[in-house]
């Protein structure tokens, strides 16, 4: 869970955000124009903001777990169980984030394959 993974996730998030923005712009404009005659309607929910928030939380958990493990290694703390639990929690959070990413990418691939 180093910065390499973080940069890969950030790149995937940017790609997903661009694709979702293009898709939402075209479908929002079409739906709004056909129903209400409006040109620009902004959704209240932002997928990109939600994903960025999740990435930030996982990154914070990883940094905290790393700090706890470093404290135990250096002898500043004797809470080995707490450090291991924090490390496992960060690992599970990262795994969950990767599964969500994989599902979103799979769904995006399915949307791209849909005939118009």
> Residues of 22-35 as b/e, b for ≥16 C-beta within 10 angstroms?
eeeeeebeeeeeee
> Which of 10-14, 22-26, 72-76 has the highest average model confidence (pLDDT)?
72-76
Q: How many domains does the chain have?
A: 1
Residue owning tokens 């691939």: 109
Question: What pLDDT does residue 14 have?
Answer: 74
Average pLDDT rounded to a whole number, residues 72-77: 92
Q: Would the pLDDT of 96 be above 70?
A: yes
Print the domain residue range for 101.
3-37+46-113
Q: What is the pLDDT of residues 81-95, one digit of tens each?
A: 999 999 999 999 999
| This prediction's pTM | 0.58
């Amino acid at each position: 869970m180093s910065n390499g993974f973080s940069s890969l996730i950030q790149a995937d998030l940017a790609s997903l955000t661009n694709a979702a923005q293009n898709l939402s712009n075209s479908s929002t404009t079409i739906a709004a124009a056909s129903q209400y005659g409006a040109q620009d309607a902004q959704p209240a929910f932002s997928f990109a903001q939600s994903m960025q928030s999740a990435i930030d939380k996982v990154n914070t958990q990883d940094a905290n777990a790393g700090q706890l493990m470093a404290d135990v290694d250096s002898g500043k703390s004797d809470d080995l169980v707490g450090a291991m639990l924090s490390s496992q929690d960060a690992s599970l959070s990262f795994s969950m984030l990767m599964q969500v990413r994989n599902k979103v990418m799979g769904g995006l691939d399915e949307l791209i394959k849909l005939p118009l």
